[in-house]
Structure 1
Amino acid sequence: MKKFLAVLCALIVLGTSARALEISAPSALLMEKETGTILFSKDEHAKLEPASVTKVMTLLLTMEAIDSGQLSYDTVITASAHACSMGGSQIWLKENEQMTVSDMLKAVCVVSANDCAVALAEQVAGSEEAFVEQMNLRARELGMNDTTFKNATGLPAAGHVTSAHDIALMSRELILNHPDIRQYTTIWMDTLRGGESQLVNTNKLIRFYDGATGLKTGSTDNALYCLSGTAERDGMELIAAIMKAPTSAQRFEDAKTLLGYGFSTYALKKIVPEEALPPVPVQLGTQATVQPVLGEGSALLLEKSKAAALAQSVSLAESAAAPVAAGDQLGTLTVTAGEEVVAEIPILAGETVPRITFGQMFFRLLRTAFLAG
């Protein structure tokens, strides 16, 4: 699958319009969510301070804990003295104040609350230090080779760095596999504590960019202005990672430039067979046929000029010899744009068909003879 995606990504050639994009930030990257294809990059591996964009990883680990059943949205967290001691952006938690996971997620996503980020970290891992170990482990699993986390918030700390490339990787993991995070990242204004605490999203894209879905801002004196901005149009979601932009306004302008380029240039096409795939006969199997299914890689990211007129052809094996394992390749669906082959998607066995045993074959022959008589 990884090889197939690599081939697919290689088919996408960035045009002169991508190279001509004017981005004020020294480091930036544009990625498509479904395929992970990089559509634009500028010094994307520079190791820089991410400020509160760090919290994308904090959110990811919290959502993974929720999905695993370790936490629920209704879990009540009691704020520790350590969590309440955080500086920077916060909702001013009081020691021993209680708040649900859901409300703390809202505070982190909307106003980048450092106190809530640490409270969530402590709930997930027992301490912020243990949580940071999990953050770095998860970063390595995701291939975030430019990243070292020192805390759960992004507050200034020596050696706490990541890159635009790695921000896109963890952002993709969050929005691809935990889409429920949108219930918080798309909030523009809301309240906590029964209306006593007012929240306004630090991500201006949510209000001012069509299709914006999130994700996280960050800024400190050294990091300057950072952003992971996500948006979806026509079934395609893009991630714009911006680091060290000179001003807050400019990071949003850079993100809009990248997102606008992606939406105007590319389209995501979900390929399905034009006709139902017929069963493939199985020789010496416990059943006569096996049902083929389309394999992974059926989501194609293409330049819009190519996506407008796609054709497909199916090549399917006349038969398969048992045993057949689910996932064995039975054929190929080829997608073309004009004379150009843009993808070859494997057609796989959708089920396992064991080889018939001698005893089963003997019984089958007896039954056939009996019915014939």
Structure 2
Amino acid sequence: MKNFGVWITTILLTLTTFSSATFAAEDDGPELVESAKSAILIERDTGEVLYEKDANQTLPPASMTKIMTMILVMEALNDGSLKLDEKVRASEYAASMGGSQIFLEPGEEMTVDELLKGVAVASGNDASVALAERISGSEEEFVEKMNEKAIDLGLENTQFQNTTGLPADNHYSTARDMALMAKELLKYEGITEYTKIYDDYLRKGTDNEFWLVNTNKLVKFYKGVDGLKTGFTREAKYCLTATAKKNDMRVIAVVMGAETPKKRNAYITTMLDYAFNHYETESLYKRFQPVDQLKMIRANNPEIDVVTSESVSVLKKKGQKIENVEREVKYNDTIELPLKKGQEVGTLTITSNGEPLSKTTLIVNEDVSNAGLWSLLKRSMNEMVKHR
């Protein structure tokens, strides 16, 4: 067990000055979404809200539910418990899903890569359930994981009953929670390689060839849009969680309960235009970029790289300047060996004139075990030689 302190260092950057109230004030700004039930616009790295309308209203998310499904799929791919080239056999239950589907047959095998494409592009309910069953054994067990992840992410107004978003009692979320889910999913940069596809094929060259066309038309008609997920049921109406990137800035826009797909897309477009016309970001750290070294004499590697868990940026209004930017690394009070890759060990806080701009979890990017007895003995001997 070891106790760690705090260190602060100044970052030599010329950025923009603003107060934390700058962005909160946008709630009183222009009305970007008129007739939809709920909406929100955030900058991805900082999570700053640029616009919102009834963002905490609980509503059915329809197929936007699959954002959480994809988070758990990407987690499994990231930890190695799932492989893209692995074949998954569709159960009768998975193949029986109605609504949007890729028309899996009972017993049909597809790779995880193909099924993920079916979820991300065509919103396949059958593909979603097949992946859920592979990861957790059943859809019910997978839904438990979805709800546990919602708690981990601090989503206060979200409850899932299935992996697909098909109508169900007590299956709900909010625009704010959907934006936070999208923020989490976008940690996995590879996901946009799927969600940005406009059209593609499954079973290509076979009698059962299936043409996938993205339900999110903005990936073709709005430059910079590369995801994420549409949704529609009669109860939910037309919903969309979209993301777009221009230069160094990525934003997330959510609309729930729009009356038509045309209005839904128009509202998203208006919010994206507003973000890119009025704001910009300065990138400070890429995901997994080293920030500090953690020194643990009893570790197999006594100097451990501490890295960012996600990309870190500073958001600013165009034309403003940031001054006196500092970073503060604070380690957890207790850090015990062994450490697992991805384990949280502290936080990185970026401030300007003492005002917080962003806060990011710091992790170790490798497994760290206890040093062996022989290694500890050699280190002790080296220390003795140094101080003779």
TM-score (norm 1): 0.75
2:316 to 265, 289, 302: 302
The residue number in structure 1 matching 2:168 is 157
Is 1:168 aligned to 2:182, yes or no?
no
- Which consecutive residues of structure 1, in runs of 5 or more, have no partner in the other structure? 2-7, 273-289, 317-326, 347-358, 367-373
1:224 to 224, 227, 237: 237
In structure 2, give the amino acid aligned to 1:303: K
**Would the aligned equivalents of 2:39 and 2:253 in 1 still touch at CA under 8 Å?**
yes
Is 1:208 aligned to 2:221, yes or no?
yes
CA offsets 1:105-125 (integer angstroms, 9 cap, x no match): 111111101000000110110
In structure 1, give the amino acid aligned to 2:160: F
Aligned mates of 2:124, 2:265 — CA distance in 1: 20
Number of aligned pairs?
A: 316
User: RCO (CA 8 Å, sep 6+): is it higher in 1 or 2?
Assistant: 2
**Would the aligned equivalents of 1:295 and 1:345 in 2 still touch at CA under 8 Å?**
no
Identity %: 41
The residue number in structure 1 matching 2:197 is 187
The residue number in structure 1 matching 2:107 is 96
The residue number in structure 1 matching 2:37 is 26
Aligned mates of 1:37, 1:57 — CA distance in 2: 21
In structure 1, give the amino acid aligned to 2:44: K
1:146 to 147, 157, 164: 157
| Secondary structure of 1:269 counterpart | strand
The residue number in structure 1 matching 2:333 is none
**Would the aligned equivalents of 1:182 and 1:214 in 2 still touch at CA under 8 Å?**
yes
Question: Measured at CA, do residues 200 and 362 of structure 1 come closer, stay the same or move farther in structure 2, by a change above 3 Å?
Answer: closer
- Rg bigger for which structure? 1
Which has a greater percent of helix? 1
Instruction: Report the Cα offset of residue 270 of structure 1.
Output: 2.6
In structure 1, give the amino acid aligned to 2:233: T
**Would the aligned equivalents of 2:64 and 2:239 in 1 still touch at CA under 8 Å?**
yes
Aligned mates of 2:119, 2:83 — CA distance in 1: 16
Instruction: Report the Cα offset of residue 263 of structure 1.
Output: 1.0
Instruction: Report the Cα offset of residue 343 of structure 1.
Output: 5.7
Task: Map 1:319-334 onto structure 2 (within 5 A).
Answer: none
In structure 1, give the amino acid aligned to 2:31: L
- Which consecutive residues of structure 2, in runs of 5 or more, have no partner in the other structure? 1-5, 7-17, 286-302, 329-344, 361-380
Instruction: Report the Cα offset of residue 304 of structure 1.
Output: 1.0
Instruction: Report the Cα offset of residue 103 of structure 1.
Output: 0.5
**Would the aligned equivalents of 2:20 and 2:357 in 1 still touch at CA under 8 Å?**
no
Aligned mates of 2:385, 2:263 — CA distance in 1: 76
The residue number in structure 2 matching 1:320 is none
Q: CA RMSD in A?
A: 3.6
Instruction: Report the Cα offset of residue 364 of structure 1.
Output: 5.9
Aligned mates of 2:76, 2:307 — CA distance in 1: 32
1:235 to 240, 248, 270: 248
Task: Map 1:1-373 onto structure 2 (within 5 A).
Answer: 10-14=20-24, 19-23=29-33, 24-176=35-187, 178-195=188-205, 196-271=209-284, 299-306=313-320, 309-312=321-324, 335=352
TM-score (norm 2): 0.73
In structure 2, give the amino acid aligned to 1:256: T
**Would the aligned equivalents of 2:23 and 2:49 in 1 still touch at CA under 8 Å?**
no
Question: Measured at CA, do residues 334 and 82 of structure 1 come closer, stay the same or move farther in structure 2, by a change above 3 Å?
Answer: closer
| Secondary structure of 2:40 counterpart | strand
**Would the aligned equivalents of 1:334 and 1:345 in 2 still touch at CA under 8 Å?**
no
**Would the aligned equivalents of 1:11 and 1:342 in 2 still touch at CA under 8 Å?**
no
**Would the aligned equivalents of 2:227 and 2:244 in 1 still touch at CA under 8 Å?**
yes
